[in-house]
Every structure is written in C-alpha cells, then in structure tokens.
A and B are shown apart, each in its own frame.
Chain A
Amino acid sequence: RKEVEQDPGPFNVPEGATVAFNCTYSNSASQSFFWYRQDCRKEPKLLMSVYSSGNEDGRFTAQLNRASQYISLLIRDSKLSDSATYLCVVNKDTNDYKLSFGAGTTVTVRA
C-alpha cells in the first residue's frame, strides 16, 4: 500500500463550481499535512498547510480527519486558473526529509 494515495482524476468542473477531493495516508503517526499545487511542466508550489482544526485560505478549504486518516481539499467558485495537479504531502515524523508525496489529483476547470 502506498503511503499517500490520491484519486488521480481528472476532475473536470465548470467555472464557478465547487470541487473536492481527498487524500489518504497510511501512517497514523503522521504529524504534518500539506497541499501543493503543480502546473503542467512546472515545479510544485505550496498551496496550504492543513491544520487539525481545518483551515481556509480564500476559496480553498483544507480538512484533516485523523480517525480515518485522510485530508481533503475543497475549492469553491472554481476559476480557470485553478486547473492544475494538486499534490498531497504528509510528513511522517518530525524529521522534515521524511515527506511522502501523493501522485496528485488533476483538476481541469472549463469555461
């Protein structure tokens, strides 16, 4: 079983729609959780951290469910510019290099 699993998608949504997807992780001792965004042929960039209580950044909402070992990302009022691959990243423990990356969920927003 992969340490971090994501539905690869693609999630094809119209502009203005809401899209949500999850990421599951296998190590219950995982401490930190992040969503990164990667545009085609570009480097990943940090989108947001995921806090235990859930957090929001503009149109983006991230949630953590430790009991079921998943994190989620919800995008409201989707824009064309939201089209990207979203990478789930989980820190296994306090050593930063022990990050596990999901293979990504692709979102395509259409006009």
Chain B
Amino acid sequence: DAGITQSPRHKVTETGTPVTLRCHQTENHRYMYWYRQDPGHGLRLTHYSYGVKDTDKGEVSDGYSVSRSKTEDFLLTLESATSSQTSVYFCAISESVGNYEKLFFGSGTQLSVL
C-alpha cells in the first residue's frame, strides 16, 4: 500500500461543467501521475508532476489541467467536461524498488460525463 487516496471514487456530471479529481498521498513521493483508462486502450498519461508546482503534460493532455500546491496533493481538473472524457482515472506515484522505478496506483475514479 503506497498510501494513495483518490476522491471522489465515482462522479457523474454534465457536459460543460468543471470537474476536479483529487489524489492524496501520505508518503512524500516526489513523482505523481494521472492516467486515464478506456476499453481497448492501455493506460494513457494526461499529466505528471515531479514536485510542488512542477508539472508537465502527457500524451492525452488536451482538456485537462493539473495543480500541485503541496507534495501530498495532485489535482486533475476538467475545465469543461465532455463526453469523450468519460473514463476511469488513476492516480499513481513512482517509487524506487531495486534498480527500477515502479508505479503504484490509487483505486481509481470512475467519471461519467452525460
């Protein structure tokens, strides 16, 4: 257990509304990530963070923004949700295990945009 909590676990919202997903970690990990998972696709990275106020885009960043004002919290915001953003969102941290960095995921947020 890497001490990662995602909230909310489930969210239903309407097209055009803003949505913020929260990832909270308790173990002072530097790197945090947001992925989305859709059927037929592997997990795809929206954004990642390598420290407080240090963030960067991943491969599917359009329509998303992030913020990290504290080490423990990484927020993903959909400024104006669209139906194509209906997905399961996983937050992750990376941790050094042996010679590799390994990812540990939160339990996920099921987001439905109607």
Contacts and interface: CB of A to CB of B under 8 A. Distances in A.
A33 B45 CA distance: 17
> Which one of B31, B58, B102, B107 has the highest number of Cβ atoms from chain A below 10 Å of its Cβ?
B102
B102 A97 contact: no
A39 B101 CA distance: 22
Contacts of B74: none
Contact of B45 (A42, A97, A102): A97
Given A44-B90, A49-B100, A97-B58, A104 B42 contact: yes
A4 B42 contact: yes
Given A43-B105, A97-B31, A32 B44 contact: no
A68 to B, nearest CB: 20
B102 to A, nearest CB: 5
Contacts of B12: none
B103 A99 contact: yes
Contacts of A2: 42
Contacts of B108: 41-43
Interface string A85-106: 0010100000011011111100
A42 B100 contact: no
A45 B105 contact: yes
A80 interface: no
Nearest to B96: A96
* Chain A to chain B: the 6 pairs with minimum beta-carbon distance, closest first: A101-B42, A43-B105, A101-B43, A96-B101, A97-B48, A103-B42
Interface of A: 2, 4, 8, 32, 34, 36, 41-46, 49, 87, 89, 96-97, 99-104
20 contacts: A2-B42, A32-B100, A34-B102, A36-B103, A41-B108, A43-B105, A43-B107, A44-B90, A44-B103, A44-B105, A45-B104, A46-B102, A87-B43, A96-B31, A96-B101, A97-B45, A99-B103, A100-B42, A101-B42, A101-B44
